[in-house]
Structure 1
């Protein structure tokens, strides 16, 4: 343990470097927002892996990785658990982030002291987890989306099959109740007093509709997006898929990504260097 404590400064600097994306991303969160504020780095030991990737530390603390969503697919979830379990007993540097989740588990960025392996970056880079804000308003580590894009381009893990098309109702219905990442051309944006609706099909078509709360839509607009700028664009959305008349999901502000040659995320060696090794 003495060696880990002695190296906390170096590890802390490495973790802090992860807070800043190494390539420009649209709507990157501000460091000062409550969900993304960080606490002091501390030394811990990985004791066990709980359900859906909960990390149990030798100190008794329960931690979940920030900016990461555990996979629903049983085979991928088993592989993700095995990836973490292989690091059982490892000395860690843990940086708390934001507020605990609804189960009072600490959110954190975590690196293995030996080799500085970043746990979230490693899982996402292997295609074993999604880069997602979960219950937070902001994705605190947007550079993880670049690592996810690289895993998707290489067909790793979760990305072995192509993403479902937002206009393919039958394919979406087969994924009801699961967290999905979907792409398609946005046909219409309907702004209402309490909600905004993003429609990926024409009226009556069996296609995805994304619902956005009034509060979230204000955040989306504050980031430079609007009904006019979204309609007709290729868009990637993510969330838990439900069926109500047709396929639908409710999106947070960081769950809506406008795609195109200029702003499609692409990962490269420089982007990934500080995220997984």
Structure 2
């Protein structure tokens, strides 16, 4: 039921490529030697798709919920794009993380997020690019664009259901306290860790949070936004492996 509304949106996007130059475009060149693929094949399975070179890739730094796939417009789906791998090495499933480059639209990560078709899943891209994408995502959510019409931020972490465990999601909550051990930092969102949400940061990645601009010492008592895979270990938790998984809202 969303197809007509997004058709016009993508038509406009096709005429805005130069205007949307962004931090994520830095260093990206449309190399004609890059392998190609049709967007329909990517969107059939964003987690594993084969390009013209026979290699397997997955969509880096984004996750596309099922609701986002409902929004695909024929104009966008039928485009042939170039694949740029962000890492040379493959993972255990023989895939490499990649971004999609379109000769007219540029980096499609920007377009997917702006259209409300994808959620940012920080992983590999530069800090300034991820900050830009998260800001675009926030704007799309505020305007109820795309999947944000039907998939909103979980405003109360206590509403997390068992069905959401193992899935990537976004949570907003008030940070009650910050705890520290020799190996981990704990962001506590309640007084009982067996029942209340906990954010976990491994010691080895803590310096990245400071470099990103986060000061955990001043976040106590303020609302923050977390994104990540919902896990259950006696109590619900999200492991923050990348500083862009955490946003200060207040």
Closer, same or farther in 2 for the Cα pair 1:52/1:242, shift >3 Å? same
Residue 164 of structure 1, CA deviation: 1.5
Q: CA deviation at 1:140?
A: 6.8
Match of 1:210 among 182, 199, 202: 199
More relative contact order in 1 or in 2 (CA 8 Å, sep 6+)?
1
3-state secondary structure, aligned to 2:160: helix
CA distance in 2, matches of 1:240, 1:148: 18
The match for 1:155 is 144
Q: Is 2:221 the partner of 1:232?
A: yes
* Unaligned runs of at least 5 residues, structure 1: 1-12, 22-30, 32-36, 261-277
**Distance in 1 of aligned mates of 2:224 and 2:215:** 13
Q: 1:227 to 1:149 in 2, by over 3 A?
A: closer
How far 1:150 sits from its partner (Å)?
1.7
Q: Find the partner of 1:68 among 53, 62, 71.
A: 62
Q: Does 1:164 align with 2:150?
A: no
Tell me the residue number matched to 1:141. Answer: 129
Q: C-alpha displacement at 1:105, in angstroms?
A: 2.9
SS at match of 2:77: coil
TM-score (norm 2): 0.73
Which deviates further from its counterpart, 138-147 or 125-134?
138-147
CA contact (8 A) 1:121 1:144 kept: yes
Secondary structure in structure 2 of the residue aligned to 1:145: helix
Distance apart, 1:187 and its partner CA: 0.6
Number of the residue aligned with 2:173:
184
Q: How many residues align?
A: 225
1:99 Cα deviation from its structure 2 partner: 4.1
1:255 Cα deviation from its structure 2 partner: 0.6
**Are 1:121 and 2:96 an aligned pair?**
no
Post-superposition shift, 1:155? 2.0
Q: Deviations over 1:108-140 (max 9, x none)?
A: 332322x32542222222222111224x48657
The 5 A counterparts of 1:46-125 are 46-47=37-38, 48-49=41-42, 50-71=44-65, 74=66, 76=67, 78-79=69-70, 82-83=72-73, 86-88=76-78, 90-102=79-91, 103-113=93-103, 115-116=104-105, 118-125=107-114
The SS at the match of 1:169 is helix
Does the 8 Å CA contact 1:178/1:241 hold for their aligned counterparts? yes
Aligned counterparts of 2:74 and 2:51: Cα–Cα separation in 1: 13
Structure 2: tracts of 5 or more residues without a match: 1-16
Cα 1:87–1:64 change in 2 (3 A) is same
When the two chains are superposed, the root-mean-square deviation of aligned CA atoms in Å is: 3.4
Cα contact 2:46–2:59 (8 A) shared by 1: no
**1:258 counterpart residue number:** 248
